[in-house]
């Protein structure tokens, strides 16, 4: 078992003992998503810590989107619960990059892509291929794409 998955299980046990319903429910759902990912495909396998992080990031993103949808629908109480679940999951994710840090990484990648001869609309794909491994898990894909487009536009 990976260290991150075992930490989630330990934290779940602790939350259950403390009778923390929100935390235990959130961790249960996350562990279920991890297990589902492990058994999907042709054969069952153990996820690495990086793969577990991706599942947690996906679950956190679901919570943010659900909170926004509930808020738009006038269900403030449910939106607050989704936000609280997102905060719990964010504690397991790496620290997110600031806009300045992201801009710096994107600017370097744009320079590399232009040096390799990427221009115009094709440059976006080339820059994203360079940027994505550097920011994996530390910045949302939409944020990265927007920063790339801004930088390429000048």
* Residues 70 and 109 placed together within one structural domain of the fold: no
pTM as predicted = 0.76
Per-residue 3-state assignment (H helix, E strand, C coil) for 52-114: HHHHHHHHHHHHHHHHHHHHHCCCHHHHHHHHHHHHHHHCCCCCCCCHHHHHHHHHHHHHHHH
* Residues 14 and 44 placed together within one structural domain of the fold: yes
Give residue-wise pLDDT tens across range 3-29: 889 999 999 999 999 999 999 999 999
Give residue-wise pLDDT tens across range 25-61: 999 999 999 999 999 888 888 888 888 888 998 999 8
Q: Is 137 helix (H, G, I), strand (E, B) or coil?
A: coil
* Residues 18 and 83 placed together within one structural domain of the fold: yes
* Residues 87 and 103 placed together within one structural domain of the fold: no
Taking each helix axis from N to C end, the angle separating 99-115 and 121-135, rounded to the nearest 10 degrees, works out to: 130
Tell me which residue range forms the domain holding 141: 99-153
């Amino acid at each position: 078992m990976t260290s991150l998955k075992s930490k989630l299980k330990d934290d779940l046990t602790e939350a259950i003992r403390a009778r923390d319903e929100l935390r235990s429910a959130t961790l249960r759902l996350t562990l279920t998503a991890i297990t589902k990912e492990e058994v999907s495909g042709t054969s069952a396998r153990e996820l690495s810590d990086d793969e577990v992080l991706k599942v947690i990031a996906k679950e956190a993103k679901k919570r943010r989107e659900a909170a926004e949808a509930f808020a738009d629908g006038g269900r403030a109480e449910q939106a607050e619960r989704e936000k609280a679940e997102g905060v719990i999951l964010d504690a397991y994710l790496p620290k997110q990059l600031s806009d300045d840090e992201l801009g710096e990484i994107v600017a370097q990648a744009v320079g590399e892509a232009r040096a390799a001869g990427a221009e115009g609309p094709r440059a976006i794909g080339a820059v994203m291929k360079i940027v994505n491994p550097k920011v994996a898990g530390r910045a949302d894909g939409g944020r990265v794409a927007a920063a790339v487009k801004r930088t390429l536009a000048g």
